Chain A
Amino acid sequence: MNSNTKRLGVQTVRMQNPPKIITTYSMVGPKEGEGPLGQYFHEVVKDDTLGKESYEKAESELFYQTVIKAIESANLKQEDINYIFAGDLLNQLTSTCFAARNINIPFFGLFGACSTMTESLSLAAMMIDGGFADYTIAATVSHFSSSERQFRFPLEYGSVRRPTSQWTVTGAGAMILGKEGNFPEVTYVTTGLVKDYGIKDSNNMGAAMAPAAVDTIVKHLEDTGRGEKYYDAIVTGDLGKVGKEITLQLLEKQGYNIRDIYYDCGDLIFDDEKQGTNSGGSGCGCSASVACSYFYGKLMNKEIKKILLISTGALMSPTSTQQGESIPGIAHAVAIEFNSNGGEK
């Protein structure tokens, strides 16, 4: 490896001075709070409108509160933070942009559908390692009710959900990255290619995103030269029950067996049988809230040391679906490690 470059292989970059995730904050709605991970979230709101008159405003408020509380818990001020990278699922990034009106931090709005958590985390980490920032924030939000009305049907419309369909998570997660302290570090970032293997059914997003997840995982392992067993956990964003199984089988075909260390945030967040969520959770708030609570917690108390987080996105719009287009998938991988010697073994 050329020591002058931070590039590694075809799609990966290595952090020279790995930025540290100094704190996280997660907020979810009541349904997520009742799910198997309920106790891990920093905050579960009782009312998913958050006292606002529309769900878009509620989503915006959820994002705002998550970011503000993350900053507070890091004992920082808004002025200390150089950039915030954030996004959501709504048209024109409505909830994040409108929340950013009240946040005094230079703002980059990102759309990566449900992949936005690792997209923002990648850029937030690279910005610090590049020497352009001391502190950055990566954050995303999604809301079940605002997504339903944009992508599907009115809430009260009676329809049967398909076995492959997923439930958009009402939730937000924020990570604050800095340079100092003894915290989990971002060591590698593998940016994904858009993959589209022809799935047209927007009720089967897990299958639409699985090829991108597989490609990014394989590229990451190839680029870094790490075996799949290097990680204590390989975690995808929101492939759900269906997409998770497709991913595992596709990886097996390519010679990678990760079954015993593989988790999917969408699969973990709901009890599909009890909560009627069919194939699990989705939305950018899914991997954000689960990574910021459950997995960050496990890293902090050293239950696990090395995790590869891969948020996955289905890049369709209501218009493209109606025009019969297939669904492009995307996945970005970020390696987060908590070693005393800077992430390297």
Chain B
Amino acid sequence: MSKKKNMSENEIIKDFQTITKETEPKPKIIKNCINAFWVGGLICLIGQIIHMLLINYGGFDEETTKMLVPAIMVFLGAVLTGIGVYDKIASFAGAGTLVPITGFSNSVVSPAMEFKKEGFIFGVAAKMFIIAGPVLVYGIGSSVVVGIIYYLSQRF
């Protein structure tokens, strides 16, 4: 009891703020970046290989292939999510698995699976886009805005 210091709440808050800053563990940015880079690169490489296979051995033309590759990558992302692997890769690779189209697939499939228990209407359908929704809204929204600017700039 004798050692006790009488501190005001404000002093404690000040101490708290410095201690919190000092003790906060720092994320391993360089390591995370390297992992994101090579895993993300690998996913793109797989996409490119599929692209070449389709053109050289599948007999598809360039235009069709451009549609088929994303469809296949989305499918692969969905399968890996379904068998519970994608989140494990993602916890290691971070943005490397988030940015490619497989990450988009994961963000739609994972809530669809999770909320299946609430039924197909209020669960799967309603919750499917809780993560990807904002990307769609602002992605499509901004493309419309850019399109209008482009259209106007062409006219004048």
Interface positions of A (Cβ within 8 A of B): 53-54, 149, 153-164, 197, 199, 204, 207, 210-211, 214, 221-222, 225, 227, 241-242, 245-246, 249-250, 253-256, 276, 279
Complex contact B26–A157 (CB within 8 A): no
Q: Which 4 A-B pairs have the closest CB atoms?
A: A158-B90, A154-B114, A163-B25, A157-B110
Nearest Cβ on chain B to A165's Cβ, whole angstroms: 10
> Is B154 at the interface (CB under 8 A from chain A)?
no
Interface residue from A157, A204, A225, A242 paired with B87 (Cβ < 8 Å): A157
The number of chain B residues touching the other chain, given as a range, is: 35 or more
Nearest Cβ on chain A to B82's Cβ, whole angstroms: 8
Apart from A159-B91, A250-B15, A253-B12, 7 more pairs, CB < 8 Å: A156-B81, A156-B84, A156-B87, A159-B87, A159-B98, A163-B26, A253-B7
Complex contact A255–B26 (CB within 8 A): no
In the complex, A222 Cα to B98 Cα: how many Å?
Answer: 51
Complex contact B90–A245 (CB within 8 A): no
Interface residue from A155, A197, A241, A279 paired with B114 (Cβ < 8 Å): A155
In the complex, A161 Cα to B97 Cα: how many Å?
Answer: 14
Pull 26 A–B residue pairs with CB atoms less than 8 Å apart, ordered by A: A54-B117, A156-B81, A157-B90, A157-B110, A158-B87, A158-B90, A158-B106, A159-B87, A160-B32, A160-B91, A163-B24, A197-B17, A204-B24, A207-B24, A214-B12, A221-B1, A225-B1, A227-B1, A246-B19, A246-B20, A249-B15, A253-B7, A253-B19, A255-B3, A256-B4, A279-B25
- Bitwise interface map of B from 68 to 90 toward A, beta carbon under 8 Å scored 1, else 0: 00000000000001101011011
- Bitwise interface map of B from 17 to 61 toward A, beta carbon under 8 Å scored 1, else 0: 101100111110000100000000000000000000000000000
Nearest Cβ on chain A to B104's Cβ, whole angstroms: 11
Complex contact B86–A156 (CB within 8 A): yes
Contacts of B114 in A (CB 8 A): 149, 154-156
Contacts of A255 in B (CB 8 A): 3-5
Complex contact B86–A158 (CB within 8 A): yes
Interface-central residue, B5, B82, B103, B110, by most chain A CB under 10 Å? B110
> Is B13 at the interface (CB under 8 A from chain A)?
yes
Q: What total of A-B pairs shows CB separation below 8 Å? A: 108
Nearest Cβ on chain A to B127's Cβ, whole angstroms: 8
Contacts of A227 in B (CB 8 A): 1
In the complex, A246 Cα to B86 Cα: how many Å?
Answer: 35
Closest to B25 in A: A163
> Is B113 at the interface (CB under 8 A from chain A)?
yes
In the complex, A242 Cα to B25 Cα: how many Å?
Answer: 8
Complex contact A155–B12 (CB within 8 A): no
Complex contact A160–B81 (CB within 8 A): no
Closest to B118 in A: A54
Complex contact B5–A245 (CB within 8 A): no
Complex contact A162–B15 (CB within 8 A): no
Contacts of B84 in A (CB 8 A): 156
Contacts of B106 in A (CB 8 A): 156-158
Closest to A199 in B: B20
Complex contact B5–A211 (CB within 8 A): no
Contacts of A153 in B (CB 8 A): 110, 131
In the complex, A197 Cα to B16 Cα: how many Å?
Answer: 8
Complex contact B19–A158 (CB within 8 A): no
Contacts of A53 in B (CB 8 A): 117
In the complex, A250 Cα to B17 Cα: how many Å?
Answer: 10
Closest to B102 in A: A158
In the complex, A54 Cα to B123 Cα: how many Å?
Answer: 13
Known: A156-B110, A197-B13, A197-B16. A161 touches B91 (CB 8 A): yes
Known: A153-B131, A157-B131, A158-B86. A163 touches B27 (CB 8 A): yes
Contacts of A155 in B (CB 8 A): 87, 110, 114
In the complex, A159 Cα to B86 Cα: how many Å?
Answer: 10
Contacts of A279 in B (CB 8 A): 25
Contacts of B107 in A (CB 8 A): 157
Contacts of B5 in A (CB 8 A): 253-255
Complex contact A210–B86 (CB within 8 A): no
Complex contact A154–B23 (CB within 8 A): no
Contacts of B25 in A (CB 8 A): 163-164, 241-242, 279
> Is B101 at the interface (CB under 8 A from chain A)?
no
